[in-house]
Amino acid sequence: MPFFSVIIPLYNKKPYIKNTLKSVLNQSFKDFEIIVINDGSNDGSIDEVHQITDDRLVIYNQSNSGVSMARNLGIKKANSKYIALIDADDFWKPNHLQEHYNSIQKFPEADLFCNAYALKLSKNHIINARYSSPKKAHPHIIDNYFKASCIHPIGWTSAITFNKKSFDDIGGFNPKYPVVEDLDLLIKFGLKKTIVFNPVTTCWYDKTVVGSLSKESHHQDIKYELFNSFKAEEEAFPYLKKYLTLNKYSLAIQCKLANNKTTFKKLYPTIDKSLLNSKQRLLLIAPVFTTKLAKKIHSFLIKKNIYFTAYN
């Protein structure tokens, strides 16, 4: 039995999948299998996968059913106790699985293991994610996942590994969410399970990838539904309320930029403005043209390798 099962959902990622797979195969820790779930790709993505020959690589095909069902199928087929996720357009450094292994050896009873990650904002501009938790130089248990995730989240899909049984315990990925399914899963881990954070940066999230479905209006409505589905839990976990408020704020800005007035109108009253900072409150109430101008300035500065965030 391999130590890790690496799950890759694949839907129309032809320009990226080969590099993603190469980054997995280039791991210094070699004891793993790779399970690619071809979720009905029609752009030649699966042909790129077939060009790679490795005994650890297995491919399953399904009709297009969404990333949640693709990941759930991959995890069901997995032979390992520990599941590592990577999206078909992301990238691991060679030490990624080794650092997860180090965390597991130190905390074998934990459920979710998170490595630090970087954000690729433009072709030549990569920054490390920033977390609202005390900095430590070694893997450690996160006492409050939501408190630690108020700038960038401690957990990100392609940076996590989890115990397969723990995943099953919390119900896996919810198929009704074609987007933010990872956020739903991580909230459930944060509410119920032990989470370990390793501060070594081992992968990056490429935010330059085009064609994100999460920007579509009906997906913004799905985000609204998720962000308002934990009201009972918010009473018991105060930092969950702040965490969700920040996510609602981010969604509200997306709605303004997309001229999605319908979702914005029902979302706005659910945002506790007292949990936002002054910059966020200002952007929330600013006219749409001001918000769009701020976004253009933000994008311009990124191209100049200058990065500002409204989260601190």
CB 191 within 8 A of CB 237: yes
Mean pLDDT of 225-248: 94
Q: For residues 166 and 110, give the distance between their C-alpha atoms in angstroms, rounded to a whole number.
A: 9
Predicted confidence (pLDDT) at residue 131 exceeds the cutoff of 70? yes
Mean pLDDT of 77-105: 97
Take residue 290 and report the two structure tokens written for it.
């001001």
pLDDT at 82: 98
Q: For residues 183 and 88, give the distance between their C-alpha atoms in angstroms, rounded to a whole number.
A: 18
Predicted confidence (pLDDT) at residue 214 exceeds the cutoff of 50? no
Model confidence band, residue 124 (pLDDT cutoffs 50, 70, 90): confident
Q: For residues 40 and 108, give the distance between their C-alpha atoms in angstroms, rounded to a whole number.
A: 37
CATH number of 4-206: 3.90.550.10
**Which residues have a Cβ under 8 Å from the Cβ of 20 and sit 6 or more positions away?**
8, 13, 86, 87, 88, 89, 90, 91
- Please provide the distance, in angstroms rounded to a whole number, between the alpha carbons at the two ends of the chain: 45
- If you average pLDDT over every residue of the chain, what do you get? 93
Model confidence band, residue 227 (pLDDT cutoffs 50, 70, 90): very high
- Predicted confidence (pLDDT) per residue in 253-279, tens digit: 999 999 999 999 999 999 999 999 999
Burial of 98 (0-12, 13-18, 19+ CB in 10 A): middle
Q: Where are the alpha helices (DSSP H) in the chain?
A: 17-25, 45-50, 67-77, 96-106, 145-148, 164-169, 181-192, 217-227, 231-236, 238-257, 261-267, 278-285, 288-303
Which of helix, strand or coil describes residue 196? strand
pLDDT at 205: 87
Q: Which helix H or strand E contains 287, and what residues bound it?
A: none
- Predicted confidence (pLDDT) per residue in 154-189, tens digit: 999 999 999 999 999 999 999 999 889 999 999 999
pLDDT at 212: 44
Where exactly does CATH 3.90.550.10 map onto the chain? 4-206
pTM passes above 0.85: yes
pLDDT at 272: 96
Model confidence band, residue 94 (pLDDT cutoffs 50, 70, 90): very high
Mean pLDDT of 15-31: 97
